[in-house]
Amino acid sequence: MTSVDPQLELKNVTKRFGGVAAVDDVTFAIGKGEILGVIGPNGAGKTTLLNCISGVYRLDGGDVRWQGESIAGLAPFRVARLGIGRTFQIVKPFTSMTVRENVVAGALFGSDEDRPRLGAAFGRADGVLELVGLRSKADLPVSAMTIPDRKRLEVARAVATRPKLLLLDEVMAGLNPVEIDDALEMVRAVHQSGVTVVLIEHVMRVIVGVCARVVVLDVGRMLADGPPDVVLRDERVIQAYLGERYARRLRGS
Amino acid sequence: MIGMPASRIWNRVFTALAMAVLAYAVLAPLSSLDVLQSLGMPLLTDKLWFRLATITAMFVVMASAWNIIGGLTGYAAFGNVAFFGIGAYTVGMLITKARWPFLLALPLAPAAAAVFAVLIGLPLLRLRGHYFAVASLGVGVAVGELVQNVDFRGEPLFGGASGLFLPILAVPNRDLYFFYLMLAAAAVAIGVTWAVLRSRFGYGLIAIRENEEAAAVIGVNTTAYKVAAFALAATLTGLAGGVFAQWNVFVDQENSFPIGYNVEMILMALLGGTGTVFGPAAGAVVLQLLIQFLSGSLPITLQIPFVPDDAMPVLAQVVLGVLLMLVVVFAPRGVIDFFGGRSTLSIAYLRRSLRETSV
């Protein structure tokens, strides 16, 4: 299921560590304005795939194309300047800065288009903090933030870079159900502000609630690509996620 | 001031003290002018005063410059003395071999140091943490050895072990001239730091210090930024070296590449507060005066029973070492942290710092 006007295309993307292929021949495309979920069990290669897109890793095979042009091999900062933002699963805030300053740093750099000056960056940052619900905590140091708030900050800093495509790496991991609902609300708000979103998640429920399309990875390979209700009935997906025995029982019934 | 928290009162007291020291440093030398002397103005500054004050200003430049790469960018450069030496030798060579006038040669000192910083920064700044520290220390040592030992057609290229003797600059009141020149360099170093901290560049550097990977994915060209910060530090340090060469009229490996400067400039920045505008400068003033006091160069000297006078410089080194340990462990944000109204010096503060700095 490829969209008519793909914004990002992955073609046979492969990344090996030693003899192990962490991402193995993965091919799919993301259309502008989409909100795509990427799921898979631990070690499926989700984060590796994201690192391949954002330039943290060099590909061992295949190609990544952004708006029709190859971005494989570009340094991470160049990818960011093209308008591809990302977050880290283990948050990496600038700890000596306040919440607002973290977001200002994002606003000052990021996409080449529409870069603000220092004064304007503060205004932009406040807008982003409003969007993710951190406006009231803008002046706090990062050390005073709870884990869910740090995850929000991670998203806020990425949103401030004015991305056209935002890659979110397990922003819900470690949150309780109530916090997940809040975070989902935030992701929807970001998506509605006009950003294409790729949501990498371990938790199935998150994806179902917000994504119209899901890609499933397992041991580096792509298992399925389609609407969540179809994909989650796919036997191979069930097997990868829930194990052989459960899959057999499902078949039996 | 009634009802003010104690820390804010202290803050004001120390700001006032700093302003007074600055005013004294800027105005007192004027008493050595002939005009004022003939009017019966008492002489407030002698040769020794000028020597100490100029050296102190020189260290303000070096500590503030180190702060840009070490404090703002988080790359602990241990070889910045190479830039000082390159600056000194650039001026020395241009004046002795090419007969350039001093003021024409001086701008090339920071330029040469900056070019060198870019060349070694490109490979070196790929290293992180202690790898970078050790590699930069190696560069600092190697450049000094090269300068002393490189021969060209059987002749030492840079004066060799006997060094370079510069002609004495023909200006009235030389002491005053070089003190104000070094003071201006110090003002430039502090001003540059202030400007960097209020710029996109500064945000990029601090982002690199806090998390280099996160800085890269928000779009900071980390390599270019690190090299630029290193070159900026080199520029300022090279400027100090260039002024030093003509002031001292003699340069050799020992006075232009002293390995001890590497440690001293870092210690000054740490003591005052890395990453701040005025911290390294304050640290440089306090520590330089302490070093001079302990080694007996000040009019007021210290007599310690059972310690002979000639052992005092050794004792000074021991005190510096102990001070470095105490600062790093108990006050990692420097002394200036107590004067911004952010923290107050207390047992709780020291215990918290100890927890933070422990593994």
Closest CB to A105 among B213, B216, B218: B218
- CA dist., res. A92 & res. A151, Å (int): 9
pLDDT along chain B (359 residues), means of 10: 58 84 89 84 85 96 97 93 97 95 97 97 89 91 90 84 91 92 97 96 96 96 96 98 97 93 91 90 91 78 74 78 81 72 71 73
d(CA B220, nearest CA chain A) in Å: 6
Angle between helical axes of A177-192 and A147-159 (0-180°, round to 10):
10
| Interchain contact A116–B (C-beta under 8 A) | no
The pLDDT value given to residue A247: 63
CB nearest to A94's CB, from B207, B217, B275: B207
For residue A3, the distance in angstroms to the closest alpha carbon of chain B comes to: 27
Residue entry with tokens 């997906």: A237
Nearest C-alpha of chain B: how many angstroms from A242? 34
Q: How many CB pairs (< 8 A) connect A and B? A: 75
Per CATH, which fold does A1-83+166-253 belong to? Rossmann fold (3.40.50)
Chain B residue numbers touching A88 (CB-CB < 8 A): 213-214, 217
Strand, coil or helix: what is B58? helix
* A104 close to B (CB below 8 A): yes
Mapped to the 3 state alphabet, what secondary structure does A224-250 carry? EEECHHHHCCCHHHHHHHHCHHHHHHH
Which residues of chain B neighbour A109 with C-beta distances below 8 Å? 200, 203-204, 207, 218-220
> Does the CB of A162 have a partner CB in chain B at under 8 Å?
no
- Would you say B267 and B323 are in contact if contact means Cβ atoms under 8 Å apart? yes
CB contact under 8 A, A54 and B217: yes
Q: How long, in residues, is chain A? A: 253
pLDDT of residue B357: 67
- Give the β-pairing of B151-152 and A69-70: unpaired
Cβ atoms of residues B151 and B157 within 8 Å: yes
Interface residues of B toward A, Cβ cutoff 8 Å, are 198-200, 203-204, 206-207, 209-211, 213-222, 275
Q: What are phi and psi of B357, to 5 degrees?
A: -85, -10
pLDDT at residue A66, rounded to an integer: 96
Least CA distance to B203: which residue of chain A? A105
Q: What stretch(es) of chain A map to CATH 3.40.50.300?
A: 1-83+166-253
Q: For chain B, say whether A56 makes contact (Cβ under 8 Å).
A: yes
Instruction: Supply the pTM of this predicted model.
Output: 0.90
pLDDT at position B53 is: 94
Q: Which of A225, A217, A238 is nearest to A39 (CA)?
A: A217
- Report how far residue A116's alpha carbon sits from residue A78's, in angstroms, rounded to the nearest whole number: 18
Which residue of chain A comes nearest to B72, CA vs CA? A96
Question: How confident is the model at residue B1, as a pLDDT?
Answer: 39
For residue B150, the model assigns a pLDDT of 86
pLDDT on residue A110: 92
Q: Does A106 touch chain B (CB under 8 A)?
A: yes
Alpha-carbon gap, residue B203 to A118, rounded angstroms: 10
pLDDT of A250: 59
Residues of chain B in contact with residue A161, where contact means CB-CB under 8 angstroms, are 218-219
Question: CB contact, 8 Å: A88 with chain B?
Answer: yes
Quick one: closest CA in B to A88, which residue?
Answer: B214
Please answer yes or no on whether A108 and B198 come within 8 Å at the CB atom.
no
A219: DSSP letter:
T
The verdict on a CB contact (< 8 Å) between A86 and B217 is: yes
Helices (H) and strands (E) in chain A, counts: 10, 10
Q: Which of A56, A80, A104 has the CB atom closest to B219's CB atom? A: A80
d(CA B82, CA B293): 27
Please give, rounded to a whole number of angstroms, the shortest distance from the CA of B274 to a CA of chain A. Answer: 12
Q: How many residues does chain B have?
A: 359
Q: Which residues of A touch B218 (CB under 8 A)?
A: 80, 85, 105-106, 109-110, 157-158, 161
Helix (H) or strand (E) holding A74: none
Predicted confidence at residue A3, as pLDDT, reads 46
Q: What is the pLDDT of residue A2?
A: 46
The tokens describing A53, both together, are 């897109």
* Torsion sign, CA atoms B167, B168, B172, B178: positive
Q: How many other CB atoms sit within 10 Å of the CB of residue B350? A: 14
pLDDT in tens, chain A (253 residues): 444 578 999 999 999 998 889 999 999 999 999 999 998 888 889 999 999 999 999 999 999 999 999 999 999 999 999 999 999 999 999 998 999 999 999 999 999 988 999 999 999 999 999 999 999 999 999 989 999 999 999 999 999 999 999 999 998 888 888 888 888 999 999 999 999 999 998 877 778 878 999 999 988 999 999 998 888 888 888 888 767 666 666 566 5
What are the residues whose beta carbons fall under 8 Å from the beta carbon of A223, sequence distance 6 or more? A40, A216, A217, A234, A236, A237, A240
| CA–CA min distance A94, chain B (Å) | 5
DSSP code of residue B211 = -
The pLDDT of residue B50 is 93
